[in-house]
């Protein structure tokens, strides 16, 4: 894992104009005036002065409009310490304001273009410091582990222009936190992008142990023998068809005495064929991302340690590979879950909720103050909300709190209900409940209703369905390349910070 090295520099004319770098990045704002002229974002004045005030004219002549994620390049002609100017479009400002997400997206688009640039300066940080650091670090990300030839290297050093003078300590703290958050997103991305030939329950557990040891976290791993001894019927049922047996990993950041406890549960299906209820062949390769929930929760636990949140943060990662074989669980089987409830399996491709149920019950035994679970759980999430908006369910107040923070971070998320009438559709004649209904309606909500059955009474909890947002199969955009996105790590970081501050 590599991220650029960020150095905070003064926002003085000399510090910016004479800085030796290959590229200096500025922001442009889409015209919202009668003559249709784009404007320059705050922090660009020094660069414009070096061009004798003609930078807008020059950029306009080159076709710049300031639209979101646009990138126009101009040689510096020796007018600056940098060799070239990259003008990154921020889109329109709302009432004169530019959001952190606009800065994040523009910074990401610029960073994706900095291939083989060793040193850059960004003035987008003068608009929003955290957004510029996060966007640059994530936009520069590339996963080349399996490439025999690597086409270019990401930017190594980025100087970020301080928004204001005299706030050096606070601003440096922001840079440090933003870098740590981006690093944790990249941990999740790397895990998702690792192919299932190399990432399976045991190897995922080994990576979790290594990360825990590196960051001073407590870690516990239950193998298949211990899972059987303790009665984890969901994890064992789902993982029983694979030659690579399941694991349950528990990683904990202590956070100090009397710290509030936050439980993080993440689905870790390292590959999902659907089991006996086999998926269609088309796009099955994307099921390498079915452990994105576990990746996000592990990365968030690491972040809690790096930023030393005054919380006890514990991640529970149920890891299994869902394969069809002579030992696979079948439609019609009844599983006895951890904690004693029984579930009739009607579809083995609804496996994520089974491993999660075991982990949720285990997490509740530790008596957390809050429980957050995330998973690539249902195709219905994509149908309802698309590929970029997570569905957030759970107890109403906590659900809405998380959705608000998700939107504020730019990752996005939408609060969804858990209608009580759907519970009856999960009734089983053989067991306490079935793992699916007999119809397709409200599939995302049904999965949430199923999980609710395993959450301790009166515990504030949330379920975040990231089936779409966890993986980008389309062209890169903003700070998001192809492959694993690391969603919802930044949301979880905001939630933990909010709990630490407000309880």
DSSP string, 264-279: EEE-EEEEE--TTSPP
- Rounded CA-CA distance 317/206 in Å is 12
The pLDDT value given to residue 1? 66
Is 353 in the active site?
A: yes
- Rounded CA-CA distance 499/503 in Å is 4
Domains of the chain are: 5-140 (3.40.220.10), 186-502 (3.40.630.10)
User: CA angle 338-359-327, nearest 5°?
Assistant: 65
Q: What is the pLDDT of residues 36-47, one digit of tens each?
A: 689 999 999 999
Q: What is the pLDDT of residues 274-288, one digit of tens each?
A: 999 999 999 999 999
Cis check for the bond before 225: say yes or no (omega within 30 of 0). Answer: no
Provide mean pLDDT across the span 183-207: 98
Query: Which residues are bridge partners to 480 per DSSP?
Result: 477
Residue 167 Cα distances to 43, 123, 172, 498, angstroms: 16, 17, 9, 23
Is 279 in the active site?
A: yes
Residue 32 predicted with pLDDT over 80: no
Helices (H), 121-243: 129-139, 168-193, 201-214, 224-230, 233-239
- Rounded CA-CA distance 445/94 in Å is 34
Q: What is the pLDDT of residues 422-446, one digit of tens each?
A: 999 999 999 999 999 999 899 999 9
Residue 441: exposure state from Cβ atoms within 10 A (0-12, 13-18, ≥19):
exposed
- Rounded CA-CA distance 298/315 in Å is 6
What is the model's pTM? 0.97
The pLDDT value given to residue 125? 98
- Rounded CA-CA distance 425/423 in Å is 5
Of the listed 247, 353, 399, 401, which one is catalytic?
353
Q: Give the pLDDT band (50/70/90) at residue 257.
A: confident
Q: What is the pLDDT of residues 343-355, one digit of tens each?
A: 999 999 999 999 9
Q: Give the pLDDT band (50/70/90) at residue 2.
A: confident
The pLDDT value given to residue 94? 82
For the CA atoms of the chain, what is the radius of gyration? 24
Q: What is the pLDDT of residues 451-483, one digit of tens each?
A: 999 999 999 999 999 999 999 999 999 999 999
Residue 310: exposure state from Cβ atoms within 10 A (0-12, 13-18, ≥19):
middle
Query: Which residues are bridge partners to 221 per DSSP?
Result: 249
Q: 25, 110 in Cβ contact below 8 A?
A: yes
DSSP state of 41: P
Residue (of 347, 356, 321, 497) closest to 426 by Cα position: 347
Q: What is the pLDDT of residues 285-298, one digit of tens each?
A: 999 999 999 999 99
Q: Cβ contacts of residue 158 below 8 Å, gap of 6+?
A: 4, 5, 6, 7, 119, 120, 121, 122, 136
Q: What is the pLDDT of residues 71-100, one digit of tens each?
A: 999 999 999 999 999 999 999 998 889 999
Torsion-angle region of 168 (φ positive above 0: left; ψ -120 to 50: alpha; else: beta): alpha
Q: How many CB atoms lie within 10 A of CB 415?
A: 17
Q: What is the pLDDT of residues 164-183, one digit of tens each?
A: 887 889 999 999 999 999 99
> Taking all residues of the chain, what is their mean pLDDT, rounded to a whole number?
96
Q: Cβ contacts of residue 343 below 8 Å, gap of 6+?
A: 234, 334, 335, 337, 354, 357, 428, 431, 432, 433, 434, 435
Of the listed 279, 336, 408, 482, which one is catalytic?
279
The pLDDT value given to residue 305? 98
- Rounded CA-CA distance 180/398 in Å is 25
**Strands (DSSP E) found in 376-460:** 390-394, 413-415, 433-434
């Amino acid at each position: 894992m590599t991220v650029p090295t960020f150095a905070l520099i003064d926002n003085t004319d000399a510090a910016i104009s004479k800085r030796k770098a290959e590229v200096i990045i500025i922001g442009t704002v889409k015209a919202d005036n009668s003559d249709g002229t784009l404007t320059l974002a705050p922090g660009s004045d020094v660069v414009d002065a070096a061009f004798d005030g003609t930078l807008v004219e020059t950029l306009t002549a080159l076709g710049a409009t300031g639209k979101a994620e646009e990138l126009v390049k101009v040689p510096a002609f020796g007018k600056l310490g940098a060799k070239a100017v990259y003008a990154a479009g921020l889109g329109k400002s709302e009432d004169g304001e530019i959001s952190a997400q606009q800065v994040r997206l523009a910074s990401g688009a610029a960073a994706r273009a900095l291939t083989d640039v060793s040193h850059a300066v960004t003035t987008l940080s003068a608009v929003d410091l955290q957004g510029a650091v996060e966007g640059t670090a994530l936009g520069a990300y590339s996963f080349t582990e399996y490439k025999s030839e690597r086409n270019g290297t990401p930017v190594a050093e980025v100087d970020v222009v301080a928004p204001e003078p005299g706030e050096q300590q606070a601003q440096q703290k922001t840079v440090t936190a933003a870098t740590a958050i981006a690093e944790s997103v990249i941990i999740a991305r790397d895990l998702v992008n690792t192919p299932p030939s190399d990432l399976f329950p045991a190897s995922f557990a080994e990576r979790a142990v290594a990360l825990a040891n590196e960051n001073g976290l407590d870690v516990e791993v239950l193998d298949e023998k211990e899972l059987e001894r303790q009665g984890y019927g969901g994890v064992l049922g789902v993982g029983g068809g694979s030659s690579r047996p399941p694991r349950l990993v528990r990683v904990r950041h202590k956070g100090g005495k009397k710290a509030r406890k936050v439980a993080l549960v993440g689905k870790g299906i390292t590959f999902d064929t659907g089991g006996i209820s086999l998926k269609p062949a088309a796009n099955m390769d994307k099921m390498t991302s079915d452990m994105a929930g576990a990746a996000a929760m592990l990365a968030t636990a690491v972040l809690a340690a790096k930023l030393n949140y005054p919380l006890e943060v514990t991640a529970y990662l149920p890891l299994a590979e869902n394969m069809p074989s002579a030992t696979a669980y079948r439609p019609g089987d009844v599983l006895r879950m951890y904690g004693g409830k029984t579930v009739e399996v009607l579809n083995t491709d609804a496996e994520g909720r089974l491993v999660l149920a075991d982990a949720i019950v285990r997490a509740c035994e530790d008596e957390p103050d809050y429980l957050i679970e995330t998973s690539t759980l249902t195709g219905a999430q994509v149908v309802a909300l698309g590929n970029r908006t997570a569905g957030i369910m759970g107890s109403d107040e906590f659900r809405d709190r998380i959705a608000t923070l998700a939107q504020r971070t730019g990752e996005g998320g939408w609060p969804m209900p858990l209608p009580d009438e759907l519970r009856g559709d999960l009734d089983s004649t053989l067991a306490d409940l079935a793992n699916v209904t007999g119809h397709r309606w409200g599939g995302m909500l049904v999965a949430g209703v199923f999980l609710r059955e395993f959450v301790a009474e009166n515990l504030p909890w949330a379920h975040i369905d990231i089936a779409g947002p966890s993986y980008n199969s389309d062209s890169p955009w903003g700070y998001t390349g192809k492959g694993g996105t690391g969603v919802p790590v930044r949301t979880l970081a905001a939630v933990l910070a909010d709990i630490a501050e407000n309880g």
